Structure 1
Amino acid sequence: MKEVTVQELKEMRDNGADFQLIDVREDFEYEMSNLAGQNIPLGGILIETDKISKDKPVVIMCRSGKRSAVALHQLEAQGYTNLANLQGGILAWQAEIDPTITVY
């Protein structure tokens, strides 16, 4: 499984890289704080594959990196080869990049 660190994600954003960020947390978690990715909760990830790009890099994130790893494996089983898991999820982003965001 390919992973990216929060520092690598920040560099991708800062450099204007063309990629898609998918947040697989539940709606209430996303509403509390998010990194402006597209919210597709894990339970619906296979139903909404039409919203996930196959043509550019896709970073999948959650709270800690566990649910996003599950989503990544489910999508790879559907033929995706362009996916990366955000190591440590939004908890790592808060700890290392932006301590002002709200996490639980």
Structure 2
Amino acid sequence: MSEFLHRLPEFLGNHPFLAMAFFGVLLALIANESTRWFRGYKELTPAELTRLINGENALVVDVSSASDYEKGHVPTARNVAMSQFDPEHKDLAKVKDKPVAVICRSGQTSAGAAARLAKAGFTRVYTLAGGTAAWQAADLPLHKGRR
């Protein structure tokens, strides 16, 4: 280890672009992980979401469009269009301490809704990593049509 530390300055001097690339990737990785750590919600796998629904009676909110929701959704999910999604709604305010999982078709839109819930003071906010597509890929049942 001592020899490594003695030769490190020489390596950095001989390969400045490689050293800058390494430190750039390292900083990006640290920034990404710290953002994930402090964002206020957690991503779940389909199996973890199933456990949360069955074990803790989680509220599942699907923010997909109505047509995507009707094509297939997680069995207990309630559809709320993203344009109408309001964390301050009186029905949602009742469940601030209950687990709330937000789902969309691909997992991208639900992240914004989850961040809004966390900012509004919800203590247990989750998203389904990969969205309904991941749920379907895990061979879990989808309900079709309106609830």
Q: Specify the TM-score bucket, using the shorter chain as the normaliser.
A: 0.7 to 0.9
Aligned residues: 101
Cα 1:27–1:57, aligned 2, differ >3 Å: closer, same or farther? Answer: same
Assess, with a 3 A threshold, how the Cα gap between structure 1 residues 95 and 76 changes in structure 2: closer, same or farther: same
Q: Which has the higher contact order (CA 8 A, sep 6+)?
A: 1
Question: Relative to total residues, which structure has the larger helix share, 1 or 2?
Answer: 2
Structure 2 CA distance for partners of 1:5 and 1:47, relative to 1, 3 Å:
closer
Q: Pairwise mapping of residues 11-90 of structure 1 onto structure 2 (< 5 A)? A: 11-13=51-53, 15-35=54-74, 36-46=76-86, 49-52=89-92, 53-90=95-132
Alpha-carbon offset, residue 100 of structure 1: 7.3
Larger Rg: 2
- Structure 2: gaps spanning 5 or more residues: 1-40
Q: Aligned in 2, Cα 1:100/1:33: closer, same or farther, shift over 3 Å?
A: closer
Identical-pair percentage: 36
- CA distance change for structure 1 residues 23 and 16 in 2, over 3 Å: closer, same or farther? same
Q: Taking structure 2 as the reference length, what is the TM-score of the superposition?
A: 0.60
Greater CA deviation, 21-30 or 51-60?
Answer: 51-60
Larger displacement relative to structure 2 (73-82 or 86-95): 73-82
1:97 aligned to 2:108?
A: no
Gaps of 5+ in 1: none
**One-letter amino acid of the structure 2 residue matched with residue 63 of structure 1:** R
Give yes or no for contact 2:87–2:116 (8 Å, CA) kept in 1. Answer: no
